[in-house]
Every structure is written in structure tokens, then in C-alpha cells.
Structure 1
Amino acid sequence: MPADRAPDTRVARTPDDSSRILVAAIERGDIDTVVSLYEPDAILFSKSGRLMHGLDAIRENNLGLIALKPTFTIDFITATISADGTLATNRMKAELNWTDKDGNPKQASVDTLEVLRKQPDGSWLYVIDDPYGSMRAGMEKR
């Protein structure tokens, strides 16, 4: 995961750490860390725009992604924190690479829009995660 800095913890101390930790956990197949980055009632969007609600759905979806054994190259992560310091948005642009079951290399762009909430312990967790949020207006439903 080439990035401007790699996380070495499971706890996001800044909003942008959440994206870095998530990508690193997916790459190493660590579903427990992936799920730990979400609030219990969080929402994750599918590529088609379908909403997945709660940790069980988020776990199931991300297990499918982990099965691809993907690698990510992060182009940038931009975090914006609300004036009161309790909410943030992340935008991450990254390239996702994997090999399909026939051995063919595949690539996709990920251009996220994420909403995070600061927790009482100072960590940040996803409330809404849309991996295609910035691209959604131009996408056809699949």
C-alpha cells in the first residue's frame, strides 16, 4: 500500500488514518480490523448504490473484497473536520488491483466519500462509507 504514511495501529487517531488503516487491513486480510473501523449502525454503499447497514453486512461485503487479495495505491486522502471537531469527511482516491479467477489482472478506481465521527476515546469511526461516492453521479447502476 504505497501511501504518504502507513498506519501501524488498528485505531484511527485522525480521520485520514481510518482510510489508511482500512486499506492496509483489507490488503492483509484482517477482517476484524476492517469491521472495528465502523460504528455499529454504519452504512456502506455497494458499487450499485445499494445500502448495507450494520457490522454484519459490512463484514460480509469486505470478506468478498478481501477474497480478491487486492492491492491499493493511494493517490491522496483529504480529510475535513467540522468546526466542533466531532464529524469529518474523507475523500480518498486510489487504484485497486487484483487478479480474477482466470488469472487476468484487473484494475478499478476508488474515489471515496466517507463520513466519520470522533469517539469518546478520541478515535474516529466510519458512519457512512461510499467507496464510489465522488464518482457516483456519473455511474450507471450495475
Structure 2
Amino acid sequence: MAAQPELSRTPEGIVSSLLQHFNSMDVDVMCGFYEPDAILVSASGEPQRGIPAIRGELLKYYAVQLPMVIIARHVFVADTIASLILDWNIVGKTPSGEDFHLVATSNDIARRGADGYWRYIIDNPFGTQVRQLA
């Protein structure tokens, strides 16, 4: 049995914790990385608020069963809030053998909770992408 991913107690550990949670390939484990009232912005730019809605969005990522790779561009911290700009990708072959290539730069916000652990409050995976109105 794999070790349960841990939340970070330092801003410097947020990205490592994110990768551990995401790459667990367990949506329930990943949901523990978010505060209960957090927002995950969908690829279409629609905010999904709360764990049930976030869970639904995460299942789309997990459908391809590929790990995420992250390069932290910036992590800025002011007291209990951290702003993260992360270059990330999910690239490889899906279980059905199809090539998959998803690359983006996120603009995320984490907060240190009363328990001392950092969790996401805003996950904007395509944060730097310009979205066109329909």
C-alpha cells in the first residue's frame, strides 16, 4: 500500500504536496488537498466551487491515468496566503493507447489553515490562458 500523501506545513512544500496528491491517482486523496469551499476553474473558465464540484472536474484529469509534471515558476507568500504560478503537463499514452498531450500554466492560490497545513483555495489550471467568449 502506498503512503498517504501529506499536506505541506511550508509554502516551499506546496508543489511537492500537490504532485503527491495528484499523482496518487485517487480522486478522494486529491480532494483532501483543497479547502471545503475551494474553487477549481474548469478548462472552459467556469469556477467549480466545493469538493463535490471539484471532484467532478478532477475525474476528467484522472480519466487518462497519466501523472502530472510541474515546474514552479513563482511562489509568492504573504502571511497565510501563497500565490503559485506553475508550468505543468500531463503527457503520455492513455490506457487505450492514444497519445495525450496537455500543457498549461496555472495561477493558483493556497492558504495555511488553522492546523498549519497549506491547502488550495483557488486552482486555476489554465490561469494564463486567454479564453474567448462564445
| Pairwise TM-score range, normalised by the shorter structure | 0.7 to 0.9
2:19 to 6, 23, 30: 23
Residues 115-138 of structure 1: CA deviation (Å, up to 9, x unaligned)? 11111121111111100112x22x
| Counterpart contact for 2:110–2:121, Cα < 8 Å | yes
Using structure 1 for the length normalisation, give the TM-score.
Answer: 0.79
Using structure 2 for the length normalisation, give the TM-score.
Answer: 0.83
SS, match of residue 103 in structure 1: coil
| Counterpart contact for 2:22–2:68, Cα < 8 Å | no
Q: Which residue of structure 1 aligns with residue 68 of structure 2? A: 72
Q: Unmatched 5+ residue regions in structure 1?
A: 1-7
| Counterpart contact for 1:80–1:88, Cα < 8 Å | yes
2:56 to 57, 60, 76: 60
| Counterpart contact for 1:12–1:18, Cα < 8 Å | yes
Question: In the alignment, residue 127 of structure 1 is paired with which amino acid?
Answer: I
1:89 aligns with 2:95: no
Residues 42-68 of structure 1: CA deviation (Å, up to 9, x unaligned)? 111001101101001111211221121
Greater shift, 15-24 or 54-63, is seen at: 15-24
| Counterpart contact for 2:43–2:126, Cα < 8 Å | yes
Mapping for residues 27-46 of structure 1, pairs under 5 Å: 27-46=23-42
Q: 1:100 to 1:25 in 2, by over 3 A?
A: same
| Counterpart contact for 2:14–2:118, Cα < 8 Å | yes
Q: Which residue of structure 2 aligns with residue 4 of structure 1? A: none
Aligned-residue RMSD, C-alpha: 2.2
| Counterpart contact for 1:10–1:21, Cα < 8 Å | yes
Q: Unmatched 5+ residue regions in structure 2?
A: none
| Counterpart contact for 1:22–1:33, Cα < 8 Å | no
Q: Percent identity?
A: 27
2:111 to 117, 126, 129: 117
| Counterpart contact for 1:40–1:54, Cα < 8 Å | yes
Q: Which residue of structure 2 aligns with residue 99 of structure 1? A: 93
- Give, in whole Å, the separation in 2 of the partners of 1:111 and 1:131: 7
| Counterpart contact for 1:46–1:130, Cα < 8 Å | yes
